[in-house]
């Protein structure tokens, strides 16, 4: 029988005092939605490796799709702290559900808003905000993951349209998306973005199976076999790799907050379990080794909370650098993985079951530490930023 979600977020350094009333209202709205709609069903969907598609309407209603996009295009015009809080609360439920929101807002709506024509903005953004249209983001290819600049997907002009060929791999939401933002090389070898719509001849989205991670998220390929893309579907204002990398700044920022949500859920679960579970005649919370784990978890969660709070202020002020975002993404996800691993041990055998959310978070975080730039790639971005020397190539 599904347990009631009693989650309470830790606030060891009274960080709530740094939030506005609007931030706190948004947080309680999203948290209540997650408790009511996500927690009761998510384990079952993850076990069956199925995306709970019925959640899309609710995600749109709580403002998870493009909350920073201006209201005239269907967004909420919120600041980046609010966006971070929304991602934290959703990922507290499940990283896969946060993935869907990240992709829709940061990787589909953001590029259309930032690089699109006025006609493209008016045509797509309001429908993406309500979830009437869902999108995905195709950058990674079978032979080009960390090195997207080496992509081979390409397009060329042919009469009144472009002809698109190639393939993308590991694409979140691909199997059900109505549109795909596809990054491909023009005949001069420069990367540009195209809006590809489901139903275009030669475009298919086979689903990726057998994942042990993000099981409640739908992942697939994008295959382009001489797809005719209308000329008006080219994003006019993005040329070069900095186009897609600019979108990643948005999504990585959301993950920096989101992963803290997963860590908080693991900590909260382990703390409550330790107070109730008795061995050798007393609660395991009374043993020094268990206290060490809990004390280190809350210390690391608190440090990460401070980092993303400051990053949110900088980002709302348009002063956050890509390297600062990389540092926060890397730190939050590594922290969350460590918290999940320690928390799982604290639950003993129960920790490996679906009775508790920890193992699911832990497995999900193995994707989160890989996508949007791996742990090591973000370290190299920090290394390059502080030394001026790039060590990628």
**Residue nearest to ligand FAD according to CB distances in the complex:** 145
Asked if 141 is an active-site residue, the reply is: no
Among residues 83, 98, 371, 381, the one that binds ligand FAD under rule CB under 6 A? 371
Kindly tell me the sign of the dihedral angle through the C-alpha atoms of 25, 10, 103, 220.
Answer: negative
Contact range with ligand TGC by CB under 6 A, out of 47-55, 187-195, 245-253, 296-304: 245-253
245 binds, among ligand TGC, ligand FAD, none (CB under 5 to 8 A by kind): ligand TGC
Pick the closest to residue 65 from 20, 116, 126 (CA basis): 126
Chosen from ligand TGC, ligand FAD, none, partner binding at 138 (C-beta under 5 to 8 Å by type): ligand FAD
- Is 102 a binding residue for ligand FAD by CB under 6 A? The answer is no
Whole-number minimum distance, CB 87 to ligand FAD, in Å? 15
User: Cβ distance 192 to 235 under 8 Å?
Assistant: yes
Return d(Cα 31, Cα 92) in angstroms, integer: 9
Instruction: Please tell me which residue in 43, 141, 300, 372 is annotated as part of the active site.
Output: 372
Residue 325: phi, psi to the nearest 5?
Answer: -65, -40
Residue 333 touching ligand FAD (CB under 6 A): no
Tell me if residue 172 falls in helix, strand or coil: strand
Q: Which helix (H) or strand (E) holds 155?
A: strand 154-158
Query: Does the footprint of ligand FAD cover residue 51 (CB under 6 A)?
Result: no
Q: How far apart are CA 86 and CA 78, in angstroms?
A: 11
Establish if 230 lies at the interface with ligand TGC (CB under 6 A).
Answer: no
Q: Least CB distance from residue 379 to ligand TGC, whole Å?
A: 11
Q: Does 314 bind ligand TGC (CB under 6 A)?
A: no
Binder of residue 240, out of ligand TGC, ligand FAD, none (CB less than 5 to 8 A by kind): ligand TGC
Decide: helix, strand or coil at residue 63: coil
Dihedral angle sign, alpha carbons of residues 173, 177, 181, 185: positive
Pairing of strands 135-138, 179-185: parallel
Instruction: Print the binding letters for residues 369-388 with ligand TGC: x by CB under 6 A, - otherwise.
Output: --xxx---x---x-------
Q: Which is nearer to ligand TGC, 151 or 362 (CB)?
A: 151
Q: In the set 85, 112, 171, 365, which binds ligand FAD (CB under 6 A)? A: 171
Q: Is 259 in the site for ligand TGC (CB under 6 A)?
A: no
In the structure encoding, which two tokens stand for residue 345, read together? 């041990």
Contact status: 219 vs ligand FAD (CB under 6 A): yes
Q: Report the distance separating Cα 319 and Cα 140, nearest Å.
A: 28
CA dihedral 55, 263, 298, 327 (to 10 degrees): -110
Of the residues 44, 226, 291, 392, which one makes contact with ligand TGC according to CB under 6 A: 392
392 binds ligand FAD (CB under 6 A): yes
CA dist 377 and 53 (Å) reads 32
Rounded distance between C-alpha atoms, residue 372 and residue 255, angstroms: 9
The 3-state DSSP class for residue 231 equals helix
Half-sphere exposure of 64 (CA within 13 A, CB side): 31
Task: Give the residues lining the site for ligand FAD (CB under 6 A).
Answer: 103, 136-140, 145-146, 170-172, 214, 219, 367, 370-372, 374, 376-377, 380, 392
Task: Give the residues lining the site for ligand TGC (CB under 6 A).
Answer: 99, 102-103, 137, 139-140, 146, 148-149, 172, 240-242, 245-246, 248-249, 251, 322, 371-373, 377, 381, 392
């Amino acid at each position: 029988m599904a347990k009631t979600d009693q989650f309470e977020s830790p606030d060891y350094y009274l960080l709530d005092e740094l939030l506005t009333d609007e931030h706190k209202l948004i947080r309680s709205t999203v948290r209540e939605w997650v408790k009511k709609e996500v927690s009761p069903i998510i384990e079952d969907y993850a076990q069956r490796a199925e995306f709970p598609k019925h959640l899309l309407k609710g995600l749109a209603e709580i403002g998870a799709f493009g909350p920073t996009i201006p209201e005239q295009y269907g967004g909420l015009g919120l600041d980046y702290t609010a966006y971070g809080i929304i991602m934290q609360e959703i990922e507290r439920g499940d990283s896969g559900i946060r993935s869907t929101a990240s992709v829709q807002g940061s990787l589909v709506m953001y590029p259309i808003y930032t690089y699109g024509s006025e006609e493209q903005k008016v045509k797509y953004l309001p429908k993406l905000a309500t979830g009437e249209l869902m999108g995905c983001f195709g950058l990674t290819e079978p032979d080009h993951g960390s090195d997207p600049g080496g992509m081979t997907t390409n397009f060329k002009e042919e009469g009144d349209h472009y002809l698109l060929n190639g393939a993308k791999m590991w694409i979140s939401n691909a199997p059900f998306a109505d549109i795909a933002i596809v990054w491909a090389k023009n005949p001069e070898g420069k990367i540009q973005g195209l809006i590809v719509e489901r139903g275009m001849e030669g475009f298919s989205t086979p689903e990726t199976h057998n994942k042990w991670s993000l099981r409640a998220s739908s992942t697939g390929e994008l295959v382009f076999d001489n797809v005719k893309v209308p000329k008006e579907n080219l994003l006019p204002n993005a040329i070069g790799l900095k186009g897609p990398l600019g979108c990643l700044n948005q999504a990585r920022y959301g993950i920096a907050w989101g992963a803290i949500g997963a860590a908080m859920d693991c900590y909260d679960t382990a703390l409550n379990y330790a107070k109730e579970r008795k061995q050798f005649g007393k609660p395991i919370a009374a043993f020094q080794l268990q206290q060490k784990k809990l004390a280190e978890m809350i210390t690391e969660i608190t440090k990460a909370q401070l980092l993303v709070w400051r990053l949110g202020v900088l980002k709302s002020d348009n002063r956050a650098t890509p390297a600062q975002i990389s540092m926060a993404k890397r730190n939050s996800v590594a922290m969350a993985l460590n918290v999940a691993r320690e928390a799982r041990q604290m639950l003993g055998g129960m920790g490996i079951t679906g009775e508790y959310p920890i193992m699911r978070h832990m497995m999900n975080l193995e994707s989160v530490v890989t996508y949007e730039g791996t742990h090591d790639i973000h370290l190299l971005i920090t290394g390059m930023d502080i030394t001026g020397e790039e060590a990628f190539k």
